[in-house]
Amino acid sequence: MAENGKSEGKPLRIGIEAIAFDIPEHYLEMADLATARGVEPAKYTAGLGQKQMAVATPCEDTVVLAAGAGQRLIKNFNIDPKSISMLIVGTETGVDHSKPVSSYVHQILGLSSECRVFEIKHACYGAMAGLTTAVNYILSGRAKGRKALVIASDIARYGKNTVGEPTQGAGAVAMLISDNPQLLEIDYNNEGFYATQVMDFWRPLYSKEAFADGHFSIQCYLDALSGAYNLYKKGDEANGAQSKAANGKFEACLYHVPFVKMAQKAHQRLLETDGGQKFEKDSPELKAALQDFEKRVAPALELNARVGNIYTGALFLSLAYLLESSAGKLAGKPISLFSYGSGCGAEFMGAKIMEGADRLMKVESNEEILSKRRQVNMAKYEEILDACSKMDLNDEENLCQPEKWDLKRPVLYLGTQNHKRIYSVNGVVLN
């Protein structure tokens, strides 16, 4: 049994035992969005690195996506719901000013009432804060063999004709944290974090859509990365590391991915932080950084390119993809994870991919999940956005009408009546 960071005298291994994601059932091609907005498609595809964008219908809210990811995790990894004694949902797109998304998810997943259940909000950093909270819970010995379920769930929405529109998306990633980290072991002996107050991205209480100072937000992200990584390096040196380029040991580097090109900018900044200066345009250093990006970062980004920004789950979506596509090749190898949440807070940590993780990830492939989606055209996309803007009104006229949106998922948000949100599971309305 785990106690005070030790298990029978040996340091405790903690990390991710199971992972699964859920995405909306519809998507839009980026080229269609670009054409409709009078923009060169290459700006969105090559310039931002995006191929497609997930589009959540009114019946697919943050709760529905979180529950979908949790259900898939429980089914695919054969997890006993009663073994879970902590449920954390990280989200920027909560559904109530008071009631947490996690309470609804707790009911839908059928978890025990002997469970701590709460929501964490810090823009895109919420789920990373949940992950470190869960790791510390297991490390403290108070979990006593039980597990923590951390779910990142968000609907990234800036609205029609905004500069942020091509960086929208939606989805959820669920991760089971325990002392049986059969997918990914977290290195809890070192961590780098960073925070400062900036107005780079925010969503006022009255708005369903986010506001962003786009180019400033990119700078804030990069500065937070340097700050968190520098602190990590100090810890690494204190732990006896020989090299000052702490990132050199990582076989893959994962980042928060609001859009794919951001991960490329981030990786360049990581390498520049070691050298203490910016790489010049066309310099050999910049060329080497781009090659290194292709080798250590790009292989994890396919899901991000086809789903879009899912805010607090974006980093973990790329982890899910890496685990399925490369866990065999990377077995036993260290990787890094960097989370950025606007406002801002950030964290850099190391982890190790476990032997056998590739076999465990084979139950349901990423491609299988993606291939079940249906494409929408611009007219349908705009109709969905308009309908979503009314979906939280306390209004019997504007209930979500699942039949209208061609949905096949078991869990649905049906609308708000008598000021209460209504969900159904397999057609049965929940109390």
Instruction: List residues near ligand CAA by CB under 6 A.
Output: 40, 42-43, 46-48, 124, 163-164, 166-167, 200-201, 212, 214-215, 217-218, 221, 256, 258-259, 261-262, 309, 311, 340, 342
Nearest CB to ligand CAA, comparing residues 37 and 373: 37
Could you list the active site residues? Answer: 92, 124, 256
From CA 315, how far away is CA 67, in angstroms rounded?
19
Nearest alpha-carbon partner for 130 in 100, 115, 150, 104 = 150
Within 13 Å of residue 193, how many CA atoms lie on the same side as its CB?
A: 11
What are residue 170's DSSP bridge partners? Answer: 155
Of 149 and 262, nearer to ligand CAA (C-beta) is 262
At closest approach, how far in Å is the CB of 163 from ligand CAA?
5
Classify 196 as helix, strand or coil.
coil
Beta carbon nearer to ligand CAA, 148 or 262: 262
Q: Cβ of residue 39: shortest distance to ligand CAA, in angstroms?
A: 8
CB of 346 to ligand CAA, least distance (A): 10
The three-class DSSP label of residue 201 is strand
Minimum CB separation from ligand CAA for residue 203, in Å? 10
CB nearer to ligand CAA: give 49 or 68.
49
How distant, in Å, are the alpha carbons of 27, 58, 65, 110 from that of 414?
Answer: 21, 8, 14, 20
Residue nearest to ligand CAA (CB): 47
Give me the least distance between CB of 175 and ligand CAA, in Å please: 19
Q: What is the 3-state secondary structure (H, E, C) of 67-119?
A: HHHHHHHHHHCCCCHHHEEEEEEECCCCCCCCCCHHHHHHHHHCCCCCCEEEE
| Residue (21 or 221) nearer to ligand CAA, CB | 221
Question: For residues 349-376, b (16+ Cβ closer than 10 Å) or e, as one string?
Answer: bbbbbbeebbebbeeeebeebbeebeeb
